[in-house]
Amino acid sequence: MKFILNTNELVSALSVTTHALSPRTTMPILEGVLLDASEEGLRITCSDGAMTISSLVEASIEEEGRIVMPGRLFVDVVRKLPSAEMMFSAGQNMIATIKCAGSRTTIAGKPADLFPSLPEISAESKVELPQPLLRDMIQQTSFAVSADESRKILTGCLLEIADGEVRMVALDGFRLAVRMAPISPDINKMSAVIPSKLLQELSKIVSGGEEDMVTMTFGASQLLAEIGNTKVYATLLEGEYIKYRQIIPTTWKTAVKILDRGQLALCVERASLMAKESKTNLITLTITDSLMTITSNSEMGDVYEEIQVETEGDDLKIAFNVKYVTDVIRAIEDDEFILHFNSGVSPSVIVPVEGSGYTYMVLPVRLNA
């Protein structure tokens, strides 16, 4: 096989596909990068067994062929080459030669037939989303998935399409995050649970603007996400997702409008420093009219913070695991948003001031008052 392309092209394709490169694995071939030179161009594929990423790059193909290069070494060598044309060639012996400017590197590859082939997906449903929307959906929900492998289904995010809405949902038993957006009502109803690791990697790849789309094709147990010339394959999580809609409270006794997310973030961060010194990791919010105080304490001392808010309804004292609060402050986009409470022991709901694009529900920790 033999092809010529600019090192920059190869580096940028590798930087995408290597998100699926296995650092160490029980299948040594997966430590490699599959190069497939054919008339469609140069296809570069990495797989960690659960997720496969494959990118097509334009290259001048002088001789078709396939080879698996040792992943880490190949990527490091290519990254250090000057930005120039490089020629890659390999013979029957699977010894590859890379020539670029005054540099010549030979690296022993492996036959490509050892590398698993790309999954075939029989499309059951298909959805197209703008890349920034998918990125936001992932960033606003995936932090709330469960880390508990014994309830595997909750380690993924539910993607749900129904009634002209697309929703992404994550929950771990203590909190729940839902991001919603309108979608064409022509798209068929569907739902699938996507592993959060895949979503994390996907959110790094979908860097495009509003006009750039991701096409997601769902098979019975597989997902194919297409982003430009890149295809991402992954296995979906199997099982029934929790019926989450019925657990979100829809009425409240106290509504607190936060006026400055940045200020709240800093107050909570400071309270978090002291909370982390104790084993409970708690912060307490106390709402008295338009004053909200945020307090925490440990053997080392205590922190008291106050901020001005707009309150409707009853005064309230409520405590949370500080991580569940910092996570949502980071995820929410708006400067102003609303906290809904029913009592110090009932779930709280955090929503934007307008619209229903985002909902975060979190259980409080009962205070020994």
Helices (H), the chain: 7-17, 71-80, 131-141, 196-205, 261-275, 322-331
Which of 24, 186, 299, 368 lies at the binding interface for a copy of itself (CB under 8 A)?
A: 299
- What is the nearest approach in angstroms of a copy of itself to the Cβ of residue 352? 25
Distance, CA of 152 to CA of 136 (rounded, Å): 23
- What is the nearest approach in angstroms of a copy of itself to the Cβ of residue 139? 23
Rg over CA atoms, the chain:
25
- What is the nearest approach in angstroms of a copy of itself to the Cβ of residue 330? 15
Q: Mask: binding to a copy of itself, 45-84, rule CB under 8 A, as x and -?
A: -------------------------x--x--xx--xxx--
- What is the nearest approach in angstroms of a copy of itself to the Cβ of residue 260? 12
Secondary structure of residue 137 in the 3-state scheme: helix
Q: In sequence order, what DSSP letters do the residues of 275-304 get, joined into one string?
A: HTTSSS-EEEEEEETTEEEEEEEETTEEEE
Distance, CA of 116 to CA of 223 (rounded, Å): 17
Nearer residue to a copy of itself within complex by CB, 41 or 71: 71
Please give the residues from 249 up to 268 whose contact with a copy of itself meets the rule CB under 8 A: 266-267
Nearer residue to a copy of itself within complex by CB, 73 or 248: 73
Distance, CA of 102 to CA of 353 (rounded, Å): 61
Identity of residue 197: K
Distance, CA of 228 to CA of 214 (rounded, Å): 8
Which of 50, 95, 123, 220 lies at the binding interface for a copy of itself (CB under 8 A)?
A: 95
Q: Mask: binding to a copy of itself, 98-137, rule CB under 8 A, as x and -?
A: ----xxxxxxx-----------------------------
Our finding on whether 274 is near a copy of itself (CB under 8 A) is: yes
Our finding on whether 244 is near a copy of itself (CB under 8 A) is: no
Q: Is 198 exposed, middle or buried (0-12, 13-18, 19+ CB in 10 A)?
A: buried
* Structure tokens that stand for 76 in this block: 């490091």
- What is the nearest approach in angstroms of a copy of itself to the Cβ of residue 88? 13
Please report the sign of the dihedral spanned by the C-alpha atoms of residue 283, residue 287, residue 292, residue 293.
Answer: negative
Which of 269, 289, 314, 333 lies at the binding interface for a copy of itself (CB under 8 A)?
A: 269
- What is the nearest approach in angstroms of a copy of itself to the Cβ of residue 300? 6
Distance, CA of 134 to CA of 117 (rounded, Å): 27
Nearer residue to a copy of itself within complex by CB, 257 or 270: 270
Nearer residue to a copy of itself within complex by CB, 41 or 109: 109
Which of 123, 273, 353, 367 lies at the binding interface for a copy of itself (CB under 8 A)?
A: 273
Please provide residue 320's backbone torsions phi and psi, each rounded to the nearest 5 degrees. -135, 155
Which of 226, 260, 277, 327 lies at the binding interface for a copy of itself (CB under 8 A)?
A: 277
- Chain-centre distance for alpha carbon 11: 23
- What is the nearest approach in angstroms of a copy of itself to the Cβ of residue 274? 7
- What is the nearest approach in angstroms of a copy of itself to the Cβ of residue 96? 8
Choices 42-50, 130-138, 215-223, 270-278 (CB under 8 A): range interacting with a copy of itself? 270-278
261-275 vs 322-331: helix crossing angle, rounded to 10 = 150
Contact between 269 and 327 under an 8 Å Cβ cutoff? The reply is no
Which of 87, 304, 313, 336 lies at the binding interface for a copy of itself (CB under 8 A)?
A: 304
Binding site for a copy of itself (CB under 8 A): 70, 73, 76-77, 80-82, 95-96, 102-108, 266-267, 269-270, 273-274, 277, 299-307
